[in-house]
A and B are shown apart, each in its own frame.
Chain A
Amino acid sequence: MDVTSEAEAGLITSPNWITARMDDLVNWSRANSLWPASFFPACCAIEFMATAASRYDLSRFGMERLAYSPRQADVLICAGRLPFKLAPVLRRIWDQMPQPKWAISVGACASTGGIFDTYAMVQGIDTIIPVDVYVPGCPPRPEGILYGILLLQKKIKGETFLDPALRVEQLTDEQGMFLPPAIVDEISEPFGNSVHQTRSA
């Protein structure tokens, strides 16, 4: 069928056609329909609840549905400190999420361990799972969490689904680690005030 006959058939003049780059289209739909898997071990979750409630209204950004099943989620939001005992649980939830998936670390404790530089606390969830956006604060305001989500949307819109490395699953090795031990130690290094904490034998 040539162009003239298509026009005669009403296909080209039809309003049901759009043209766009595939990346733009895919990223547009991905970024604007993020379904968060909520992993809320502590008090930053309260701020997230405020973010999701009517005043700040998370659904304006396509996060209408909080997925409480990791298998139907795109973005894992960890809001709160992560104790070592909960670390394998977070890792398992992350492994259960299908690609494409992203992670947001909300608050000082999820991002760095925060004030909990102790025997019981993971020093940043990026030692357990890969993290895309860190939201600082103790706890961050809902505006901060929204800003983190908007940053993630911006990041998603800059991706290309032709990049083969982007959506590769970063699995743990047989030791259970997904980062080399030296990197984990470096990330977990004390900083700021906790450098001077020497309450050890």
Chain B
Amino acid sequence: MNGATPHPSVASLQAQFGAAIGRTLVSCGDTIVVVARERSHDILQWLQHTPTEAYDYLTDLTAVEYRDRERPLEVVYQLWSLSRKVSLRVKVELPKDQPLEVNTVTDLWRAADWLEREVYDMFGVTFRGHPDLRRILMWDTYAEGYPLRKDFPLRGRFSRAEQIRQVLAGAPEANYSLEELSIAEAYKSVPADMRQRLERQGRPQGVE
């Protein structure tokens, strides 16, 4: 299967974006295209909107860090075209000597919202333009870092006692938005910074 038939999107991407398209490879039958970080949003938008491509479904958005410390961290977009029944994997490389930042794709696929929050939570990648970039799996006050990074110890950075202390000292309600809580009374007991964030997003404020 390896490289039997070249993926048609690769040639059209190279024709359209030229040098912004990096190396391409086929792995286990899946075509992978590495694209330039600065053009990633344009390229993904083009892949979604162009009728001949029509990658309208974001199957997954995740990230990979390799054991080789020199290798950049990769943000992975797994795309699928519902109409054409074709998949394509797009990768953006984030070198570790620069801030781990990439443009959000939440404006293209709403599904990217929580996926980007998960990548932010686990890898510390900042998605520029994300409407609500905060931790999703770990709690808001989690202070040990980004658990899926290779330099993160398996058991966490703090002692077990410190982990228990921090987690029991926090209010469980503080982990959730008002919508998730569905009790507006909790508005007064959430931390001030979370309250400000809720206000910024125009979420309903507490009932008196």
Partner of B138, one of A85, A172, A176: A85
Query: What is the CB-to-nearest-CB distance from A131 to chain B, in angstroms, rounded to a whole number?
Result: 15
Measured CA separation A185–B138 after assembly (Å):
21
Q: In the complex, are the beta carbons of B150 and A176 less than 8 A apart?
A: no
Measured CA separation A141–B116 after assembly (Å):
40
Query: What is the CB-to-nearest-CB distance from B47 to chain A, in angstroms, rounded to a whole number?
Result: 35
Chain B residues lying within 8 Å of A118, measured Cβ to Cβ, are: 154-156
Interface of B is mostly: loop
Chain A residues lying within 8 Å of B147, measured Cβ to Cβ, are: 119-120
Which of the listed residues A84, A85, A117, A175 has the most CB atoms from chain B within 10 Å of its own CB?
Answer: A84
Q: In the complex, are the beta carbons of B151 and A201 less than 8 A apart?
A: yes
Q: In the complex, are the beta carbons of B170 and A88 less than 8 A apart?
A: yes
Q: Is B144 an interface residue (CB 8 A)?
A: yes
Contact residues of B between 103 and 148, Cβ < 8 Å to A? 137-139, 144, 147
Q: In the complex, are the beta carbons of B175 and A85 less than 8 A apart?
A: yes
Partner of B156, one of A88, A91, A119, A185: A119
Q: In the complex, are the beta carbons of B154 and A181 less than 8 A apart?
A: no
Contact with B along A118-145 (1 / 0, CB 8 A): 1110110001100000000000000000
Closest to B162 in A: A181
Measured CA separation A147–B153 after assembly (Å):
38
Q: Is B4 an interface residue (CB 8 A)?
A: no
Partner of A177, one of B154, B159, B165: B165
Q: In the complex, are the beta carbons of B155 and A88 less than 8 A apart?
A: no
Chain A residues lying within 8 Å of B172, measured Cβ to Cβ, are: 88-89, 92
Contact residues of B between 155 and 194, Cβ < 8 Å to A? 155-156, 159-165, 167-172, 175
Q: In the complex, are the beta carbons of A119 and B168 less than 8 A apart?
A: no
Q: A117-B154, A119-B155, A201-B152 are in contact. Are A177 and B171 (CB under 8 A)?
A: no
Q: In the complex, are the beta carbons of B168 and A176 less than 8 A apart?
A: yes
Chain B residues lying within 8 Å of A197, measured Cβ to Cβ, are: 154
Measured CA separation A19–B168 after assembly (Å):
47
Q: Is A188 an interface residue (CB 8 A)?
A: yes
Contact residues of A between 145 and 201, Cβ < 8 Å to B? 172, 175-177, 181-182, 184-185, 187-188, 190, 197, 199-201
Q: In the complex, are the beta carbons of A200 and B155 less than 8 A apart?
A: yes
Q: In the complex, are the beta carbons of B160 and A185 less than 8 A apart?
A: yes
Chain A residues lying within 8 Å of B163, measured Cβ to Cβ, are: 84, 119
Q: In the complex, are the beta carbons of B165 and A181 less than 8 A apart?
A: yes
Measured CA separation A128–B150 after assembly (Å):
29
Q: List residues of A whose CB falls within 8 A of some B CB.
A: 84-85, 87-89, 91-92, 117-120, 122-123, 127-128, 172, 175-177, 181-182, 184-185, 187-188, 190, 197, 199-201
Q: List residues of B whose CB falls within 8 A of some A CB.
A: 137-139, 144, 147, 150-156, 159-165, 167-172, 175
9 sampled A-B residue pairs with Cβ under 8 A? A119-B152, A172-B168, A177-B164, A181-B162, A184-B161, A188-B160, A199-B153, A201-B150, A201-B151
